[in-house]
Amino acid sequence: MKSLEELRKLRKDSLDQVDMRRSGKGTRIVVGMATCGISAGARPVMMALVEEVKKRTLQDVTVTQTGCIGACRLEPMFEVYRAGEEKVTYVHMDGEKAKRVVAEHIVNGKVVQEYTIGAYEK
């Protein structure tokens, strides 16, 4: 170890490994991962979310899973929870769409209306 900078760089790289265990109070992205979700392709969606969040080094964003949300026909789906905001439910997701949601909704705060359950049900 030659300098503090070197140590701090290593810390930054290592932080991703443990970030999940910090108590995040920020955004929660919950992916439906029951049988219906998994068979519809929830796993690649989840992995895309995890990857995108890591790539953009977003702090306080946790990607987690849940069981069947009850609208199996709309799977794969996930919900975004943020303090003080209405829950947003995205349906018929895939990896690419998930990445767009991260970019527009999570990072820029703009809900991707066309993917939401509201838009679909119209």
Partner 1 sequence: MELYRSHILVCGGTGCVSSDSLKIEERFIDLIEKNDLKNEAKVVKTGCFGLCEAGPIVIVYPEGAFYSQLKVEDVDTIVSEHLVKGRIVTDLLYKESIQEGEMQSINDVGFYKKQERVALRNCGVINPEVIEEYIAYDGYEALGRVLTDMTPEEVIQIVKDSGLRGRGGGGFPTGLKWDFTAKAEGDQKYVACNADEGDPGAFMDRSVLEGDPHVIIESMAIAAYAVGANKGYVYIRAEYPIAVNRLQIAIDQAKDMGLLGENIFDTDFSFDMEIRLGAGAFVCGEETALINSIEGKRGMPRPRPPFPAVKGIFNKPTLLNNVETYANVPQIILRGAEWFSSIGTEKSKGTKVFALGGKINNTGLLEIPMGTTLREAIYDVGGGIPNGKAFKAVQTGGPSGGCIPAAHIDTPIDYDNLIELGSMMGSGGMIVMDEDNCMVDIARFFLDFTVEESCGKCTPCRDGTKRMLEMLDKIAAGTGTVEDLTKLQTLAKTIKNASLCGLGQTAPNPVLSTLHYFMDEYEAHVHEKRCPAGVCKALLNYMVIDEKCKKCGICAAKCPVNCISGTKGKTVYHIDTEQCIKCNACLEACPFDAIKKG
Which residues contact partner 1 by CB under 8 A?
Answer: 1-4, 7-8, 10-11, 13-18, 20-21, 23-24, 31-35, 38, 43, 46-47, 50-51, 54, 62-67
Minimum separation from the CB atom of position 11 to partner 1 (A):
5
Query: Coil, strand or helix: which one is 4?
Result: helix
Minimum separation from the CB atom of position 120 to partner 1 (A):
22
Minimum separation from the CB atom of position 7 to partner 1 (A):
5
Minimum separation from the CB atom of position 39 to partner 1 (A):
12
Q: Quote the distance between the C-alpha of residue 57 and its chain's center.
A: 12
Largest Cα span, the chain: 61
Query: What's the per-residue H, E or C state across 15-52?
Result: HHHHHHHCCCCCEEEEEECCHHHHHHCHHHHHHHHHHH
Q: Which is nearer to partner 1, 87 or 110 (CB)?
A: 87
Query: Coil, strand or helix: which one is 103?
Result: helix
Q: Which is nearer to partner 1, 57 or 113 (CB)?
A: 57
